[in-house]
Amino acid sequence: MKLDIYDINTAKTSGSVELDETVFGVPVKPYLYWEVVNWQRARRRSGNHYTKGRSDVSGGGKKPWAQKGTGRARQGTRRAPHFVGGGTVFGPKPRDYSYAMPKKKRRAALRSALSEKLNNNAIRVCDSLEFKEMKTKYASGVLNKFEAAKGLFVDVTSRTDSNELKHNETLRLAVRNLKNAKYIAAEGLNVEDILKYDLLFVSKAALEQIQGVLNNG
């Protein structure tokens, strides 16, 4: 299974690359998308919502009125939920929404999404994703050359001497202000972004890294 290689700056072909059929030639399983995207979104939820219970609100140091003789129902504190300014019953508290998802299922969903993109002719492998200019206007021009309404750019990262991740800064800064484009490192490739963007731009080095990870189960 071969795919053309493009020059990102000219949108012209410059060769071809062999694709791994165990990554790009698997049956498409849309039901996996629902499971994995929900898992991704659950992990992103901050879970910092908070409401005050009756023990958190101020006031209520003494009984609102006498226990007997007033003709009204007995009350012990104004912090009770039925009073204005009282505490909330069973209100939301900070919590962690994330849950576990089997690695095999996550990778199967990725392979399925990549295979669907290939079936729809929505993958462009590039020799390199180095833009000639670090400008938003230039990045928008690249999308226009490939006739892409929305594009996801996937490139490799490297480690500096201080063990920090080094990204493709020219690409990252050029697309960061575009609503219809996004840069992502190869190790961060995910199902939600693959489905969200029309065209997938992958550097040759990133393609090798993705196939190396996904063809191992």
Amino acid (one-letter) located at 28: V
The reported pLDDT for the residue numbered 59 is 84
Q: What is the pLDDT of residue 216?
A: 73
- Predicted confidence at residue 74, as pLDDT, reads 94
Q: Report the pLDDT averaged over residues 57-73.
A: 91
How many whole angstroms separate alpha carbon 99 and alpha carbon 174?
35
Q: What are 154-197's pLDDT values in tens digits?
A: 999 877 777 777 888 999 999 999 999 999 999 999 999 999 99
Q: What is the pLDDT of residue 140?
A: 96
CA distance readout (Å), 16 to 7, 115, 127, 204: 11, 18, 10, 10
Arch. (CATH architecture) of 2-39+100-214:
3-Layer(aba) Sandwich (3.40)
Share of the chain above pLDDT 70, in %: 100
Report pLDDT for 164. 78
First-to-last alpha carbon distance for the chain, in angstroms, is 20
Q: Are 143 and 152 in contact (CB under 8 A)?
A: no
Answer yes or no: is pLDDT of 217 > 70.
Answer: no
| DSSP-assigned beta bridge partners for residue 183 | 153
pLDDT tens-digit series, residues 112-163? 999 999 999 999 999 999 999 999 999 999 999 999 999 999 999 877 777 7
Q: Among all chains, which residue has been given the structure tokens 């840069």?
A: 183
The domains of the chain are located at: 2-39+100-214
What percent of the chain is modeled with pLDDT above 90? Answer: 88
